[in-house]
Every structure is written in structure tokens, then in C-alpha cells.
Amino acid sequence: MGYEMKDKIVGPMPAEEFLEEFLPFSEIPDYDVSSFTSAFTSGMFNDTLSAAGEQNAYRPFINTMKSFAPQLSFIDSHNNADTVNCSSFTFNIKPDVCVYSDPTPRGTDISKAEIIIEFKWGYCHDPFLQDGDSIVSSTENSMDTLGQITSYAAAQLGAQYRSHAFSVLIVRDRARIIRWDREGAIVTSAINYNTEPHLADFFHRYARASPELRGIDTSVSPASAREAALARAWLNLSNITRMFKVSVPCVDTPGVLTLIIPQPTALGFPPAGRGTRTCPAFDFVNEKVVMFKDSWRVSLPDVLPEGETYKLLKSHDVRNVATCIAYHDVPFPIPQQLNQTVKFSSAVWARPNTVITPHILHRLVLDIVGRKLTKFESSHQLVQSIRDALIGTYVEISKLHLIYVYVHSSQGRT
């Protein structure tokens, strides 16, 4: 994944600016700055740096850092792979340290992890350059590390409903904080965490921050026990499947469609991109099963939201197209939850990078749940499915010019 991600890394963002932008004091209620400044002193991580090897550094680092964030649980997870949430990955997901918001998880549970910390004890493994035209090092060891931390971010964003996630990379005496979203990643300048306060300050702020600042998508909430039990029965899911609730505005009527959906599964794709997730969902009010889609669509003026596309196709009587009954671009309550990589790719401190595509979270609901084509029960069923698709495609192509003219004229273009 490192090679797929290397052109979507933006940095080095000054560490102090990173904290003020993504975890600002103004957004943390009753935050006491003096509680941190009085606690941090140079040399606090001497025990970490004097450890005989990387694995011996985990415990002293945890012991020191948890004093700044007692609300969080720091777990040595390097020997415990997540085999439940990451089965689609071809390699083990087992970060060195996982940080949780409650004390119950043990080992690696990527579906509940808040922050992932990875250690490297040799500078040759650092994927980020101190100087030069690029922020990313192209050596084999560096790309291996970049691939590793990217896979952890991909797993976390894939197994949770999040707008973004933070991780930390420790390379002996220096650290970098990374903010991952669906456009790419923003990485800080190197922090000498034993003498500079920024890393400890990050954890101090994060521990006191709201779920939204931490990157949790609060438009999705845990379902009640009754809602979860009923949805599992309708969706034929295990009674231990975690269930969530989400609302999507209806297309033809006022109000919203309230759905109960299962916890998402990490699929092993890089974090930058659409991050598309689909699943059958339980319409709680109407007591029926529908199809739910959650995707970070490309946010450009000429790109029509998918829900609008379904609506347009239906208005032109294109056959064999499912009906979209609810959709919207998800509004986030605070600006920090919007994708930020594109925004900062042109900052004065950003080293040259390729053009990064803006994305925005889009959700839609279809009135029918399809079956995989590979599950056909007869050759007739297979041929019928292909026939129906061809009819829809033919009609769509024949009306393409009309739809093109309609869309562009409605947007004031010719």
C-alpha cells in the first residue's frame, strides 16, 4: 500500500500548526493549557530512548505517555493480530501500540482503536525525509514502513465510521503525527518528543477532545438493544454483530429514512479514495430490508452525486435501474471533520506533490437488495440478468445526449 499512497502524502506540516488546526483549544471545552505546560519537562522519555531495542521501548513509552492522557488506554498489541475485523487483508494487522477510549479491549481490535502507534528503531526505516523535494523516502525499507502504517490506517477507517483518523510513527528519538482521510494524509515535521512537547501535547488534547475532533462520524450512532436484535433477525446476522443507526433524507417525501446497519468490514484497500461500503440495511420504521451505500464521492463541479444520477435516470424512464429512495452529502458538525489533505496540499510548507482529488461523503439508499451474479440458480437466470443489464445500458446510451444537455443546462452551461 505504500506505493499506492506515496503521492497522496502532504507535509511536513509544522507540529504546532498541526495541533492548532486539528485539535484547537477553542474546540475542547474547559481545556486547561497550564495542566499540560506544568506537566511536561525535557527528558521525560529518557527511559524509552535508553531501551535495549524497539520492543523494550513500548512499556516505558506507555508509562510516560499515559500520564498526559489518563482517559485513554495504551495497549502493547505487537503480538496480537486482529483476526476478526481484518480477514480481507493478506497480512496481519498488529500495530505495536493501540490506544483505546475505554479499558476493555486487549490486544488489537481495529474496530475500536482510537490511535495506532508504530515504532521503528532504525532511521533507515523512516518513510519520511527530513529535507529534499519530497516528503516520502523511496528506499525499500522506507516504503515497507509506509505500507505498514498505511495498512493500519486503511483497516481503522474501513472497520469504523470515521471522517478521519490519527496515527503516530516513532523512529527512535523522533516522532511524527499523521492525519489520514479519504484524500490522503497530512504528516507533521519530525518531533524530538523527549525535548519538544508536541507529541505529549497531542495526546493531552486528544484525550479531552470531542468525538467529532477525534474523527468519529457521529451521524452514525450505536443502535439500541431492541433495534439491534430486530435488525439482526431481519438481516440474518449473528447475535454478536455490532449494529449502528443512521438517517438519510428521503427523496420524494419530507423526513428521513432511519436504518439499522452492521459494523463495516475492513476490505484491505488504501485509505485514499472512495472507500465505498454497501450492505443490506433494516428500515426500522417500515420494517423492510433495503440497500445502503456509503461512499466518499469525487467533489468536483462536473461530477453529479450518485443519488442525483439515479433520480435523473428514473426521470428519463431508463429501465432496469433501482430506485434511490434516500440520499445526501453528509454534513459534518465541525470543519475539522471535512477532508483536509487537498486543502493543505498547497500550503507554503508542503513539498511538491501530485494533484490530489477532493472527496465528500455521500450516502444513498436503494429500494432493492440485489444478489451476486455468481449466485444464479440456473443458466436462464444468468442470461436474464445480463439481458436486463444490456437493455438498461442501451436505453441509457440512447438517451445520453438528452441527459447531458439537461444536466449542463440546469447548471448554467452549454
Q: What is the pLDDT of residue 105?
A: 66
Q: By percentage, how much of the chain surpasses pLDDT 90? A: 65
Rounded CA-CA distance 130/126 in Å is 10
- Do 332 and 212 contact (CB within 8 A), yes or no? yes
- Lowest mean per-residue pLDDT among 7-11, 12-16, 257-261, 320-324: 320-324
**pLDDT higher than 90, residue 131:** no
Instruction: Specify burial of residue 346 (Cβ count, 10 A radius: 0-12, 13-18, 19+).
Output: exposed
- Residue 390: pLDDT band with limits 50, 70, 90: confident
Answer with the residue of higher pLDDT: 80 or 340: 340
**pLDDT higher than 90, residue 207:** yes
Over residues 240-249, the mean pLDDT reads 95
Q: What is the pLDDT of residue 162?
A: 94
**pLDDT higher than 70, residue 362:** yes
- Lowest mean per-residue pLDDT among 76-80, 273-277, 398-402: 398-402
Give the chain's mean pLDDT. Answer: 89
The tens digit of pLDDT for each residue in 18-51 reads 999 999 998 998 888 888 888 899 999 999 999 9
- Residue 414: pLDDT band with limits 50, 70, 90: very low
Answer with the residue of higher pLDDT: 315 or 112: 112
- Do 356 and 183 contact (CB within 8 A), yes or no? yes
**pLDDT higher than 50, residue 405:** no
Q: What is the dihedral of CA 118, 122, 123, 125, to 10 degrees?
A: -60
**pLDDT higher than 70, residue 401:** no
Answer with the residue of higher pLDDT: 321 or 25: 25
Check residue 273 and give left, alpha or beta (phi > 0: left; psi -120 to 50: alpha): left
The tens digit of pLDDT for each residue in 58-80 reads 999 999 999 999 999 999 999 88
Distances (CA, A) of 63 to 38, 67, 71, 105, 298: 18, 7, 13, 18, 43
The model carries a pTM of 0.90
- Do 382 and 376 contact (CB within 8 A), yes or no? yes
Most confident of 167-181, 263-277, 361-375: 167-181
- Residue 94, classed as helix, strand or coil, is coil
- Residue 91: pLDDT band with limits 50, 70, 90: confident
